[in-house]
């Protein structure tokens, strides 16, 4: 797959930056001329990944969140959201629907939502060293898309 374009951002794990990250990715990936449904799916997945960093990676502090997005010539979007937070003890357990370490007000559906809106989801984590979530989605390129 040939990479067409890429971008990267770094921002603090503040709640206000979830909307910023979602909007920045939406603007970047829109150059593929995708449908509104596809764009909404990507925005939702990014929101969930960034929210996980804010809530779970840095539960009592502010830390860096790293976001990378890549576009490939065959209509594949790849997004990686990474933190240097506390990490995940058991990734398999964390990916189970309804499992959360965020308290009663959290649904435990973040990874499930990411997985349902994207074609692939890879989660790598080391306790004490952070987590990396990489998501891919192939979008249907419409006539006129560049």
pLDDT digits (tens, 9 = 90+) for 57-103: 898 899 999 999 999 988 999 999 999 999 887 666 665 655 555 55
Average pLDDT of the residues of the chain: 86
pLDDT at 116 over 50: yes
Q: Catalytic residue among 18, 38, 48, 115, which?
A: 48
Element (H, E) at 26: helix 16-29
Q: What is the pLDDT of residue 24?
A: 97
Distance linking the first and last C-alpha atoms of the chain: 16
Q: Catalytic residue among 106, 124, 136, 138, which?
A: 106
**82 assigned to active site:** no
For tokens 């929101």, name the residue: 47
**What b/e sequence results for 84-113 when a residue is b if at least 16 CB atoms lie within 10 Å of its CB, and e otherwise?**
bbbbbeeeeebbeeebbeeeeebeeebbbb
pTM: 0.84
pLDDT at 38 over 90: yes
Q: What is the pLDDT of residue 95?
A: 58
**48 assigned to active site:** yes
Class of domain 3-138: alpha beta
What CA–CA distance (Å, rounded) separates 45 from 51? 10
Of the listed ranges 2-11, 13-22, 29-38, the one predicted with least confidence: 29-38
**18 assigned to active site:** no
């Amino acid at each position: 797959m040939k990479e067409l374009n890429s971008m990267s951002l770094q921002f603090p794990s503040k709640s206000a930056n979830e909307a910023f990250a979602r909007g920045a990715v939406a603007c970047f990936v829109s150059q593929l001329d995708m449908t509104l449904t596809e764009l909404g799916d990507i925005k939702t997945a990014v929101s969930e990944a960034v929210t996980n960093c804010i809530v779970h990676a840095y539960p009592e502090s502010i830390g860096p969140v790293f976001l990378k997005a890549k576009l490939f010539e065959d209509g594949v979007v790849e997004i990686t959201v990474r933190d240097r937070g506390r990490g995940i003890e058991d990734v398999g357990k964390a990916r189970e629907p309804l499992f959360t370490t965020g308290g009663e007000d959290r649904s435990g559906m973040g990874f499930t939502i990411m997985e349902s809106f994207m074609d692939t989801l890879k989660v790598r984590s080391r306790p004490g060293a952070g987590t990396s979530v990489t998501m891919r989605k192939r979008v249907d390129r419409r006539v006129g898309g560049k």
